[in-house]
Amino acid sequence: MLLSFDGGLLLFYAYLFCMFVLFVFSTHNFVMIYYFLKHRHKNNLEKFDLEKVPTQNWPRVTVQLPIFNEQNVAERLILSTSNLSWPKDRLEIQVLDDSTDDTLKLTSAVVDRLSKEGFCVRMFHRTNRTGYKAGALREALESASGEYVAIFDADFIPDKDFLKNTIPYFANPKIGMVQTRWGHLNEDYSILTQTQSIGLNGHFVIQQLARNRAGFLINFNGTGGVWKKDCIHDAGNWHDDTLTEDLDLSYRAQLKGWNFVFLNDVVSPGELPAEINALKSQQFRWTKGSVETAKKLVPKILKSELSLWVKIQSLFHLTANFSYIFVVASCLLNSSVLFLHNENGRFNIIMDIMMVFVLTIIGLFIFYFYSEKMINPNWKKRMLLFPIFMMGSIGLSLSNAKAVLEGFFNIKSAFIRTPKLGFLHRDLNKQHHTKYVIKIDKLVFLELLMILYVVWSSYVGIHNYMTAKSNFIGMIFFNFWTLIGFSMVTFLSLKHVYQSRN
């Protein structure tokens, strides 16, 4: 026995605390499910009939396309933007290309071509990348001629009717932003992209829809949305002091009294990261940025005139990623508990108490079940991947926990782009290659140590169970989930680095 009885109790109490925190965050999904079921058929949003307005009177729109080193998708984005069903004389396209590679040659050639075809298209190229994406958007906004500003990242393909489907909702002068649901161009490329789509669908179909229609604060998702230019200026313009400039501006605008609209039935197709290291960098940026935004805006939210319930929902929204700290801690503590002996059932009462945390998994399953069922005809097949999605989330928790700590302790880092492969004209069943060499994340070595520790503790736990020294069978099961999760992420991290270099 490695610990005394009192030491074992302290270990269990720490474990219980971590599980309780995760329980609170996870059971909040039931709140979102309630509002989703209550408001999913609500559709009383005010909008004007665009077809009754002469095209020469349609509002002028600026489309901003922030790009950085995206050879595989940049040309595709610009050309698809030129296909928008909107009068040429009422449309301005701003290509914000800060690239340092051959992407700039591609985008310049497309801009020249479209200019000759009569499009109002302008190239903005900076050499210092001050403020990264936020800086590019802010600087180009100064010369934007549009009353409204649509934004698309390099990996998206705007639907030709995107503006027709979104601009009419600005009939209400208090509407400051309209966000559409993300679609997934390469959803069926691999298990990695399929599980990503499960997570994103849950965010859009359940969270965004429920929050918006229940009157809570929502966020612009960085792409696939339209802003009223006056709203951006009134909220203080784009700030670059966080890695999630979209979340930051969203909350500042709503705190100023602007209202947002989320359209679940309007889809903006985008490309999911098909490579695990790209996914990790994307998740890292989103997680760290949300923590930075929470530190920045939570005091303002608490002092605002929002109702108490709206404030509580905003806190859950902004602080949800802190849960990754407790995911990692619970994995470590779960493994540590397996070293304890449980002769005479000394820890049985605590084990009985911990059964309540099964609700955590149930809540998550129901949450993603409803989101998939609402938009996916093959939702039954997709939900079979739910265990893999959960294990993958555990595998990513170490990287995301690092992001939380860096965001909380103000450790600054660059805005790392998420490179995409470009799937529009390619066969999803073929092997894809990228011109960008993937760098290995040093955190992968810590993930390897985590795997070794979980293997060791699993062996000890099974031995103690077979020799009747403990009956922590549930914890042994959870340990295997942890082992598979970290093993999947670590294996793919090393495999994709090797493939990119060979």
Q: What is the pLDDT of residues 342-353, one digit of tens each?
A: 877 788 777 777
Q: Is the pLDDT of residue 299 over 70?
A: yes
| Torsion 170-57-85-41 (CA) sign | positive
Burial class (CB in 10 A: 0-12, 13-18, 19+), 52: exposed
pLDDT tens by residue, 179-188? 999 999 999 9
Tokens of residue 85, six digits: 């069903």
Given a cut of 70, whether residue 359 has pLDDT beyond it is yes
One-letter amino acid at 317 equals H
DSSP tag of 128 = S
Active-site hit among 155, 159, 246, 441 = 246
Q: What is the pLDDT of residue 416?
A: 76
Q: CB of 230 within 8 A of CB of 115?
A: no
Looking at 49-53, 82-86, 403-407, which range is the least confident one?
A: 49-53
Residue 197 has pLDDT above 80, yes or no: yes
pLDDT value at position 437?
Answer: 62
In angstroms and rounded to an integer, the radius of gyration of the C-alpha atoms of the chain is: 24
What is the amino acid identity at position 171?
A: A
What is the reported pLDDT for 425?
A: 42
DSSP output for 234-287: HTT----SSS-HHHHHHHHHHHTT-EEEEEEEEEEEEPPP-SHHHHHHHHHHHH
Q: For strands 175-184 and 225-228, give the pairing.
A: antiparallel
pLDDT for the residue 322: 98
Using alpha carbons, select from 137, 119, 54 the residue that is nearest to residue 81: 119
Element housing 350 (H / E): helix 348-354
The 10 Å Cβ neighbour count of residue 274 is: 21
The structural domains of the chain, with segments of one domain joined by +, span 5-37+321-416+436-501, 45-274
In this prediction, residue 7 carries a pLDDT of 72
pLDDT at residue 433 above 70? no
CA distance 224 to 204: 12
Among candidate residues 98, 153, 155, 248, the one labeled active-site is 98
For the question of residue 89 being annotated catalytic, the response is no
Report pLDDT for 1. 42
- Asked if 341 contacts 470 with a C-beta cutoff of 8 angstroms, the reply is yes
Q: Are 24 and 360 in contact (CB under 8 A)?
A: no
135 has pLDDT over 70: yes
Q: Cβ contacts of residue 34 below 8 Å, gap of 6+?
A: none
**For the residues 137-147, what does the mean pLDDT come to?**
98
Three-state DSSP at 135 gives helix
d(CA 193, CA 198): 9
pTM of the model: 0.94
248 is catalytic: no
Least confident window among 207-216, 240-249, 415-424: 415-424
**Residue 92 DSSP one-character state:** E
**Average pLDDT score, the chain:** 92
pLDDT value, residue 438: 67
Residue 5 has pLDDT above 60, yes or no: no
Q: What is the pLDDT of residue 442?
A: 84
pLDDT at 99 over 90: yes
d(CA 207, CA 193): 20
Q: Calculate the alpha carbon distances from 470 to 14, 343, 366, 457, 459 in Å.
A: 19, 6, 33, 13, 13
Fold adopted by 45-274: Spore Coat Polysaccharide Biosynthesis Protein SpsA; Chain A (3.90.550)
Is residue 4's pLDDT more than 80? no
pLDDT-based confidence at residue 423 (cuts at 50, 70, 90): low
Whole-number Å distance between alpha carbons of 340 and 324: 25
Residue 272: what pLDDT?
A: 96
Q: In what order do the strands lie in the sheet with 61-67?
A: 120-124, 91-97, 61-67, 148-151, 225-228, 175-184, 259-270
Average pLDDT for 486-493? 96
Task: Encode 460-493 in three state secondary structure.
Answer: HHHHHHHCCCCCCHHHHHHHHHHHHHHHHHHHHH
Residue 180 has what pLDDT? Answer: 98
